[in-house]
């Protein structure tokens, strides 16, 4: 089985190549035809998704063989002394899972976009960007080395920028695009530094080689320059995921990124691109394992903090997309701390289920916004379930999934993260995660009850969205419902997607971090999720608990949450005062010192030239005289000179006059 | 040095040098541009004389020097044609042939 599938795995490069082809086709050929552009783009992503499914089926069939021997196909891209770079694809359970998730969500979003972007002037451009993004993201997940990954990493950042600023006629969209690009650049700088640190020490960026070099023996560590060096590198590499996956304090770009079209938010800023950071940490997990324990603890702490931090903000937001954006931040924090507490499996599991239900909810929100003609405030909605039964029902599934209610997908992955946190000895993080689960259920319940139930608004005339939009919702709802069951019978998911550890150069399977379903813990987290939903129901439907009264009782807290802890304002203050102050000093230096030197040089040159040009009299005969005298001088110099120039001696040339 | 009345290479070279110096003086000192052109012709002919003399006395069997002299004559003809054309063009606009007044090609 394994060997037969091998030849299929070597064709994994076709998966990102198809959307790239579609991007080029749309950009250069079919741009003028709307229908053709969409057809090309959707066809390409569906073919890529089909291939991803085929590979996934093969990987599941291969059993533990593929875990031990990931199939790496690469070609040499650059080979100069001291720098050898390969480009290639790696097929292992981790990349296969990502291929499946990205392929699924990208195809659903592109199909959905046919309905959502109907009549938009930038239609073909939109599908071209979508294809470019699909290419970059699919390439990212099958990269074999850090540099290849970094290239795709920057490409997805570019696509994110292009799609956030898709409606570039809106000032807010342009600003948000710039903010997203620059904030993630801060993180990418750290990542690049980390890559250079790795390369300067090991001379390779290949994941497998790096893992083999750091195999944990004393010799390997000595070569690595000690634990301290690895720890520093791990921290630097982690700065990239902080920016890309919106961890505190670089989370500010993600809520603003909601300025883009809603399907873009679903694809890029919820399901795929933002999890690239989590994926990267999973990919280079061995570095964190060889680093000092503080590195992973930092990941766990920051993730947990981001989870609860963003969840509290989400409670006080009114914009439907912003609530979902802060929810995404919170869930990304969840995935991060799952990695931090040592459960790669749980993190990747949650990544997958989150992609299903968050994409579902974003697309549902897009459906609502579409029906209500660009209204995004949840208080302007109400009673939508009756008018939009498919959107409402699928959204409800998403809410149940994220709240961790069994048997929906989120229950399984969230429980696995929480039990991993507790069983690996992080009770505080467990408590934070549990409380975040409660908050998540509460704000999701609030969103759902306010927007979909409650009284209808007279001024709204919602109608169900076309099939282009509802069919992807139904498919994603299906995966949000059953997606968690892969964890069930023999913990298949944990069996495949786990960390491979190199011990003395041999791949060992690593330990199962999955401890089995802890039904007691699962019960507790379900209770917390239910409590959140019930509280939201009591507050916003039966109004037993008065939201206004609570807000009035803690005005300071409410204001703090409403204004997102004033993080944006703090950044603005820093930029206005400190950065501008430094800028003024540098400006003075530039004007007076740098420009002074340059202008001084120019003045000296001009003065010298002014003197020298007097030599040019314009008199023909003066020139002739100077010319003649110069010839005489050169002649004399040659004749007086000895040695090598004697060959030019005119007497010698004549062979001596008799 | 043996003073010899027979006509030898030195005699030709001496004549050539005298012609060249005359031409050089003309180029430096004459005020009329046509005279300057004529002086250049003198210098070129001095060179021709040298070519032919060297050919006659040092490389009897070859004709290299004579060929070179022929080339110089052709070149001189072309040079004079261009030079006189320029002189006429300048004279038409400036109404002068005085080299001292030909000084506007400067800063």
User: What pLDDT is recorded for position A291?
Assistant: 78
**How far is A640 from chain B, CA to nearest CA, in Å?**
21
Q: How far apart are CA B81 and CA B88, in angstroms?
A: 11
Smallest Cβ distance to B102: which of A616, A620, A655? A620
Chain A hits for B36, CB-CB cut-off 8 Å, are 620-621
User: What pLDDT is recorded for position B107?
Assistant: 61
Comparison of pLDDT for A658 and A197, the residue scoring more: A197
Residue A119 pLDDT more than 60?
A: yes
| Exposure of A382 in the CB half-sphere (CA atoms within 13 A) | 11
**How far is A167 from chain B, CA to nearest CA, in Å?**
57
Domain ranges of chain B: 9-101
User: What pLDDT is recorded for position A501?
Assistant: 46
Q: Does B27 touch chain A (CB under 8 A)?
A: yes
Q: Does A613 touch chain B (CB under 8 A)?
A: yes
Query: Which whole number is the average pLDDT over A611-618?
Result: 82
Helix (H) or strand (E) segment spanning residue A267: none
Chain A hits for B106, CB-CB cut-off 8 Å, are 616-618
CA angle A322, A357, A90 (to 5 degrees): 110
Candidates B83, B100, B107, partner chain A, best to mutate (most A CBs within 10 A): B107
Q: Does B107 touch chain A (CB under 8 A)?
A: yes
Which alpha helices (H) appear in A224-275, and where do they start and end? Answer: 226-244, 253-256, 262-266
Report residue B27 as tokens. Answer: 């180029």
Comparison of pLDDT for A2 and B78, the residue scoring more: B78
User: What pLDDT is recorded for position A513?
Assistant: 44
User: What pLDDT is recorded for position A216?
Assistant: 53
User: What pLDDT is recorded for position A505?
Assistant: 38
Read off the pLDDT band of A511 (50, 70, 90): very low
CA proximity to A497, closest of A618, A343, A297 = A343
**pLDDT, tens digit (0-9, with 9 covering 90-100), for A487-510:** 654 455 655 555 544 443 334 444
Q: Give A253's contacts (C-beta < 8 A, 6+ positions apart).
A: A176, A179, A180, A183, A184, A246
Q: Chain-wide mean pLDDT for chain B?
A: 89
3-state secondary structure of A432: helix
Residue A648 pLDDT more than 60?
A: no
Instruction: For residue A573, give Cα distances in angstroms to A184, A249, A251, A569, A576.
Output: 20, 15, 17, 6, 5
Q: Do A620 and B107 touch (CB under 8 A)?
A: no
**pLDDT, tens digit (0-9, with 9 covering 90-100), for A437-454:** 999 999 998 888 888 887
Q: How far apart are CA A174 and CA A164, in angstroms?
A: 8
Q: Do B9 and A654 touch (CB under 8 A)?
A: no
Share of chain A above pLDDT 90, in %: 21
Interface predicted TM-score (ipTM): 0.84
Read off the pLDDT band of B76 (50, 70, 90): very high
Give per-residue burial for A89-114: e unless 16+ CB within 10 Å, then b: bbbbbbbbbbbbbbbbbbbbbbbbbb
**How far is B64 from chain A, CA to nearest CA, in Å?**
15
**pLDDT, tens digit (0-9, with 9 covering 90-100), for B23-72:** 999 999 999 999 999 999 999 999 999 999 999 888 888 889 999 999 99
Read off the pLDDT band of A650 (50, 70, 90): low
| Count of CB pairs separated by less than 8 Å, A with B | 32
Chain A hits for B59, CB-CB cut-off 8 Å, are none
User: Is A326 within 8 Å of A440 (Cβ atoms)?
Assistant: no
**pLDDT, tens digit (0-9, with 9 covering 90-100), for A347-368:** 888 888 999 999 999 999 988 8
Q: Does B2 touch chain A (CB under 8 A)?
A: no
CA proximity to A42, closest of A119, A109, A135, A142 = A109
Q: How far apart are CA A401 and CA A482, in angstroms?
A: 10
Read off the pLDDT band of A151 (50, 70, 90): very high
Q: How far apart are CA A105 and CA A113, in angstroms?
A: 12
CA proximity to A473, closest of A550, A614, A371, A571 = A371
Rg of the Cα atoms in chain A: 32
Q: Does A642 touch chain B (CB under 8 A)?
A: no
Report residue A319 as tokens. Answer: 């914009």
User: What pLDDT is recorded for position A506?
Assistant: 39
DSSP 8-state symbol, A524: H
Query: Which whole number is the average pLDDT over A383-404?
Result: 87
Other CB atoms within a 10 A radius of the CB of residue A3 amount to: 8
Q: Do B28 and A620 touch (CB under 8 A)?
A: no
Residue A226 pLDDT more than 80?
A: no
Q: How far apart are CA A19 and CA A47, in angstroms?
A: 9
Smallest Cβ distance to A618: which of B29, B58, B106? B106
Candidates B9, B39, B54, B106, partner chain A, best to mutate (most A CBs within 10 A): B106
Comparison of pLDDT for A521 and A573, the residue scoring more: A573
Candidates A609, A612, A618, partner chain B, best to mutate (most B CBs within 10 A): A618
| Exposure of A106 in the CB half-sphere (CA atoms within 13 A) | 35
CA angle A422, A250, A367 (to 5 degrees): 85
Question: What CATH number labels B9-101?
Answer: 1.10.287.3510
Query: Which whole number is the average pLDDT over A457-469?
Result: 80
Q: How far apart are CA A478 and CA A397, in angstroms?
A: 9
Helix-, strand-, coil-residue percentages of chain B, each rounded to 5: 75, 0, 20
Distance of CA B75 to the CA centre of its chain: 11
Query: Which whole number is the average pLDDT over A202-212?
Result: 80
Q: Do A613 and B29 touch (CB under 8 A)?
A: no
Smallest Cβ distance to A618: which of B9, B24, B105? B105
Q: Give A536's contacts (C-beta < 8 A, 6+ positions apart).
A: A441, A442, A443, A444, A445, A446, A448, A449
User: What pLDDT is recorded for position A294?
Assistant: 83
DSSP 8-state symbol, A378: G
Highest mean pLDDT among A65-74, A203-212, A386-395: A386-395
**A625: closest chain B residue by CA:** B28
User: What pLDDT is recorded for position A222?
Assistant: 58
**B29: closest chain A residue by CA:** A621
Q: How far apart are CA A431 and CA A434, in angstroms?
A: 5
In chain A the first and final C-alpha atoms are separated, in Å, by 99
Report residue A611 as tokens. Answer: 């003197």
DSSP 8-state symbol, A86: E
**pLDDT, tens digit (0-9, with 9 covering 90-100), for A555-580:** 777 777 777 778 888 888 888 888 88
Smallest Cβ distance to B103: which of A618, A628, A657? A618
Report residue B10 as tokens. Answer: 């030195």
User: What pLDDT is recorded for position A35?
Assistant: 85
User: What pLDDT is recorded for position A495?
Assistant: 55
**How far is B21 from chain A, CA to nearest CA, in Å?**
12
Give per-residue burial for A218-227: e unless 16+ CB within 10 Å, then b: eebbeebeee
Query: Which whole number is the average pLDDT over A285-296?
Result: 81
Q: Do B103 and A655 touch (CB under 8 A)?
A: no
Q: Does B90 touch chain A (CB under 8 A)?
A: no
User: Is A498 within 8 Å of A67 (Cβ atoms)?
Assistant: yes
Report residue A407 as tokens. Answer: 């048997």
**pLDDT, tens digit (0-9, with 9 covering 90-100), for A15-43:** 999 999 999 999 888 888 888 888 999 99
């Amino acid at each position: 089985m394994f060997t037969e599938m091998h030849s299929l795995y070597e064709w994994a490069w076709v998966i990102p190549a198809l959307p790239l082809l579609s991007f080029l086709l749309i950009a250069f050929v079919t741009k003028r035809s709307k229908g053709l552009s969409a057809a090309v783009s959707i066809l390409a992503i569906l073919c890529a998704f089909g291939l991803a499914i085929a590979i996934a089926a093969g990987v599941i069939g291969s059993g533990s063989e593929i875990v031990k021997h990931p199939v790496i196909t690469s070609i040499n891209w650059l080979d100069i002394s001291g720098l050898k770079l390969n480009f290639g694809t790696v097929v292992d359970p981790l990349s296969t899972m990502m291929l499946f998730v990205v392929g699924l969500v990208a195809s659903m979003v592109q199909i959905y976009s046919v309905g959502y972007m109907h009549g938009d002037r930038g239609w073909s451009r939109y599908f071209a960007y979508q294809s470019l993004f699909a290419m970059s993201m699919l390439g990212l997940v099958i990269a074999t080395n850090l540099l290849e990954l970094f290239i795709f990493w920057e490409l997805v950042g570019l696509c994110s920028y292009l799609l956030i600023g898709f409606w570039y006629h809106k000032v807010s969209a342009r600003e948000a695009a710039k903010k997203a690009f620059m904030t993630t650049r801060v993180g990418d700088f750290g990542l690049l530094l980390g890559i250079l640190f790795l390369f300067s020490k090991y001379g390779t960026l290949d994941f497998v080689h790096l893992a083999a070099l750091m195999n944990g023996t004393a010799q390997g560590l000595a070569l690595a320059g000690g634990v301290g060096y690895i720890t520093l590198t791990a921290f630097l590499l982690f700065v990239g995921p902080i920016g890309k996956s919106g961890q505190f304090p670089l989370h500010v770009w993600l809520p603003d990124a909601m300025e883009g079209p809603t399907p873009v938010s679903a694809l890029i800023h919820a399901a795929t691109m933002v999890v690239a950071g989590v994926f990267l940490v999973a990919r280079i997990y061995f570095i964190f394992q060889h680093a000092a324990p503080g590195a992973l603890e930092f990941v766990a702490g920051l993730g947990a903090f981001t989870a609860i931090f963003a969840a509290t903000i989400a409670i006080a937001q009114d914009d439907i997309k912003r609530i979902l954006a802060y929810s995404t931040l919170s869930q990304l924090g969840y995935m991060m701390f799952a990695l931090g507490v040592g459960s790669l499996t749980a993190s990747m599991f949650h990544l997958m289920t989150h992609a299903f239900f968050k994409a579902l909810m974003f697309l549902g929100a897009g459906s609502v916004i579409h029906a209500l003609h660009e209204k995004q405030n949840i208080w302007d909605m109400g009673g939508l379930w009756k008018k939009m039964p498919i959107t409402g029902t699928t959204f409800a599934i998403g809410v149940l999934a994220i709240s961790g209610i069994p048997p929906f997908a989120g229950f399984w992955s969230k429980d696995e993260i929480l039990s991993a946190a507790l069983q690996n000895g992080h009770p505080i993080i467990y408590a934070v995660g549990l409380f975040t689960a409660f908050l998540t259920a509460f704000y999701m319940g609030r969103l759902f009850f306010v927007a979909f139930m409650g009284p209808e608004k007279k001024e709204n005339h919602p109608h169900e969205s076309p099939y282009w939009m509802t069919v992807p919702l139904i498919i994603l709802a299906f995966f949000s419902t059953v997606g968690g069951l892969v964890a069930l019978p023999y913990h298949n998911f944990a069996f495949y997607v786990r960390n491979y550890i190199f011990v003395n150069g041999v791949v060992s399977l690593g330990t199962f971090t999955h401890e089995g379903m802890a039904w007691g813990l699962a019960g507790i987290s379900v209770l917390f999720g239910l409590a959140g939903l019930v509280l939201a129901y009591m507050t916003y439907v039966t109004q037993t608990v008065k939201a206004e009264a609570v807000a009035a009782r803690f005005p300071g807290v409410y204001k703090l949450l409403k204004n997102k802890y004033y993080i944006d304002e703090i950044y603005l203050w820093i930029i206005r005062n400190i950065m501008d102050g430094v800028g003024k000093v540098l400006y003075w230096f530039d004007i007076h010192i740098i420009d002074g030197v340059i202008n001084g040089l120019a003045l000296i040159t001009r003065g010298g030239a002014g003197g020298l040009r007097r030599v040019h009299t314009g008199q023909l005969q003066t020139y002739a005289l100077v010319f003649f005298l110069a010839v005489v001088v050169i002649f004399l110099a040659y004749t007086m000179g000895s040695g090598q120039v004697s060959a030019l001696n005119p007497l010698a040339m004549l062979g001596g006059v008799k | 040095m043996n003073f010899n009345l027979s006509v030898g290479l030195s005699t030709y070279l001496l004549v050539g040098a005298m012609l060249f110096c005359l031409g050089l003086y003309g180029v430096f000192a004459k005020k009329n541009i046509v005279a300057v052109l004529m002086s250049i012709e003198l210098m070129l002919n001095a060179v021709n004389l040298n070519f032919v003399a060297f050919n006659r006395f040092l490389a009897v069997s070859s004709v290299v020097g004579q060929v070179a002299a022929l080339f110089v004559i052709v070149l001189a003809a072309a040079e004079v044609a261009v030079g006189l054309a320029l002189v006429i063009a300048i004279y038409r606009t400036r109404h002068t042939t005085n080299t001292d007044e030909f000084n506007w090609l400067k800063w």
